[in-house]
Structure formats: structure tokens, C-alpha cells
A and B are shown apart, each in its own frame.
Chain A
């Protein structure tokens, strides 16, 4: 398996690219800090803010890597090498996840500073964080491969990411909305990450049972990995 070889190259190459830094690090951290400072008691907001950090960290990294690789045609270097498309996709998902988890951990450190209660379960937190990072990376990868012109990937991504911040209950609980809005929430991939992390950190959840959240996150990751592989086959 060449997944690790490619992943190592990716991390070396894209860690410092402006696209990953601005949307992937600066935005989530500033966002987290702004909320923390504004509301002081962030315990109930923490899972949502953490999810937002991971979402932006993973998707920004993956899409900036795919944008550059498609535009500079280095992507074809991987396609013509003796590796399967699945290995390429897994490598991108892995690097996106590592980057997203890193952003998530920094944001968690900030949040801990403002939080009153301890985290309910560190192992559960780790599980939901990793699953969310993997699912979001795969989602980001698929979107970056679907757009015809790679330059537009960031715009499309924001068109998905920004509404998800609200439809997932990350900031305002879905229970405070009319009932039909919960349906929208259940159709939002991010909802499962938010409720999973809420369960791990605070030992309660809004709409999704933690077991379902876990299964759906795994399923989302597999579906977007599969879609990305077929998309590469179609694209070239």
C-alpha cells in the first residue's frame, strides 16, 4: 500500500499553502475564540465549535491539495503511477484527517480554557473526532473532484459548509427549531458529528442517538470514498 508514501508527501507539500491556512486554521480558531469570548460559558457550544473546526480544517486541506494537484497536473503523476485510485483517495483522506484533527485539537485546547465541566469521555471523544475528520475529508475530496474548474472548489465548499453550520445544530440546538427543521438536520452529514461529539463531551445528545451517529459517520466516509474513486475514473 502506497497510502502512507503519498500521505507523507501531501503533508510536506500542502501544510503551508494559503488555502489550507486561511480557511483551515484561521477561520475555525477565530470563530471558536469569538464565541468563547462573547458567551463565556461555552460548555454547550463546545461540541459544535469543535465540529466546525474539524469540518473547516479537513475540507480546506483536502480541497486545496486537490485544487493545486489538478491545476498543476501533478495529480496525473499519481494517476499514472502503479497505485490504485483507492490508494490515492485514502491518502488524501488520511492527510485531510490528520490536518483537521490537528486544527480540532488546537480548538479544543482553546475551548477547555473556557469550559466549566470536564469532558465526559475522552475515548468517545477520540472516536467521534476521528470519524468526523475522516467523513468530512472524504466529503471535501468528493466536492473538489466534482467541480469542473478546480478554482471554484473553495466557493462550492463554502456553499455547503456555511449552511451546514446552522442545519447541523452546531451553534443553535435543532430542538429549538420547528419540527420539520429536524428533518433538514438529519439530512445534514455534520449533524451526526455534532451530536456524537456532544455525547462524548457532555453525555447528552439533541436528536441523533450516539450509536446511529457513529454508524452514519462510518457510512458517510465509505460512501464519499467510493464516490471519489468513481469520480476519478470518470474524470480521466
Chain B
């Protein structure tokens, strides 16, 4: 099976409350995939279902080709989970923690030293005494002792300072580059911009949009903003660009364009023709944050509520 994770119409009900309302998606092997959603969207619940930690109310899920309902041990053997809280054993040292995990998963002991070196972990410090950032790193390392095919990370950088968060993100990217399938959940935009190749935006138990970053950007119909200043400014230039509806902000011309490439091409030929100098040019491509805000605000288009 080419897919690392398949979810078909997954539902999770807690009593009368439906936390996940029938979601479907596929994650290819080697891909980095993110579930992006606000608090309470159902991200953790989804991860817990996929990792056998909680039962599936209805629907089907496959991880590495194994049925999550009926082949729980096989699923567990092939995945690593970094839960939303770092949960190694406080009273054990980092090395003892990793050794325990290695024994639990029948992984070679050497793997532990390898991970301690790679993650630059303080091996002989008790886990409970580590800083939040190092707890996170150690928890990620613990999920990797058995070299799982799919790594699930639930809000991997939540609560970390900028430096630790960056370090963790680059660790995750490196794992993905080496071919590991990465499934993260997050409400952090930087993470959504930098780690996954594909994103599903989740809201109130449903997936409201899914695709590559560029595809999602198109979905909300935001245009690219171009800020331009030239010397000398001329009325012929303004006339030539009139159909882009320019406005002035702080002495700069501001355009909203659909097709950045076409716009720049036109600008270049005008430059040759009119002989002006570009003194500054900057573009703002709509980011995931714009898409996220657009799709998860309520009431909104694309939102089934």
C-alpha cells in the first residue's frame, strides 16, 4: 500500500458529544502532513484514534497498511508517538528512559546512544529535571528508538521558546528528509508553513480544507500584494499599470495581483520602455495564517456550521 495513513469517515463520540465528525484523508509514505486547527477542533482525538490510544466510534483507519481497529499491535510496532505532553518517566534518567523504550520495542541498545548523540541530550540527568525544551527533545527521541515508519507528533512545539521550537522543527524536518512519514497536529502557523507538504485544516470535528499550501492559498482567493517604488515616477507608468488598480501607501505603489509572474513580466518590459529605476519591490504571498483565519472564523464560507 502506497499510503502511510488512511482515514475513511472517522468518527469519535464521547457520550453525546461528537468530537470528530467523519473525517477522511490520506497521507503518502515519506510525506509530512499537518492537521491544523484551533483549540478543540479534534486534532488530538484524531491522533489518539490513529495511534490506537482511543477507540474509533465509526469509520475505518489504516496505518502502514494495518487496520487500526483489528491490528493494533502491528500498528503500534510501526509508529512512534510524541503526545501533546512530554511523558517520559520523571524519576528515570534520559538514558534509562530510552533504554526502557528500546527494550519495550526490541530495539538494539546502540540506538539509544545514537539518539542521545544526535539529539544532544543530557544522558544522565533525570527526565523530571530537564527544561521544557529538552523534555520535548527527549520525548521525540523516545518515539524514535525503534525507527518507526510513521511518526505522529501532537503539537510538537507547544510551550517551547523560539530557540527550542526552532531546534525541534529542524529535527522534524530532518527526519522527514530521511524518508520518515511525519504526521503533526498544530495550531502554530510557523509550523504549518515550515514542516508539512500537505495540510488539512480542521474545525469543530470536520476537515474544512485540504491541500498543498499554494492550493489552500488559492482557496481563500487572496491576491498577492506587491509594494513598489520607482524613480522617477511618471504618469505614463501609472497609466500603463492602471488596470491593476494601484493605491499609494507611504510613498509606495501598492497592487493586488492574481498573477505575480505576469505582473513582473509587464513591469520589466515597461522598465525597458520607460527607463525607470526600481528602488524597492516587495511581495506578500498570502500565508497559511490568512487561509486559517479565513476558514476557521465563524460564520465563514467553507465552514459547514
Contact = CB atoms under 8 A, between A and B. Distances in A.
Interface of A: 2, 5-6, 9, 12-14, 16-17, 72-74, 76-84, 236
Contacts of B142: 77
Contact of A80 (B55, B76, B91): B76
B87 A9 contact: no
A80 B81 contact: yes
A12 B105 contact: no
Task: Give chain A's interface secondary structure class.
Answer: loop
B39 interface: no
B37 to A, nearest CB: 21
Given A72-B87, A76-B87, A80-B81, 19 more contacts: A2-B103, A2-B104, A5-B100, A5-B103, A6-B104, A9-B89, A9-B92, A17-B91, A73-B85, A73-B87, A76-B83, A79-B53, A80-B51, A80-B52, A80-B53, A80-B76, A82-B77, A236-B53, A236-B55
Nearest to B96: A12
A42 to B, nearest CB: 37
Nearest to A2: B104
Contacts of B73: 82, 84
A162 B65 CA distance: 52
Nearest to A14: B91
B89 to A, nearest CB: 5
A76 B88 contact: no
B54 interface: yes
A67 to B, nearest CB: 13
Contacts of A73: 83, 85, 87
Contact of B54 (A5, A81, A236): A236
B105 A82 contact: yes
A128 to B, nearest CB: 33
B104 A5 contact: yes
B90 interface: yes
A74 B104 CA distance: 14
Given A12-B96, A74-B88, A76-B53, A83 B104 contact: yes
Given A82-B73, A82-B105, A12 B87 contact: no
Given A9-B100, A76-B53, A236-B53, A81 B87 contact: no
Task: Please indicate which of the listed interface residues A72, A79, A80 has the most CB atoms of chain B within 10 Å of its own CB.
Answer: A80
A81 B89 contact: no
A230 to B, nearest CB: 13
A154 to B, nearest CB: 19
A174 to B, nearest CB: 42
A99 B166 CA distance: 44
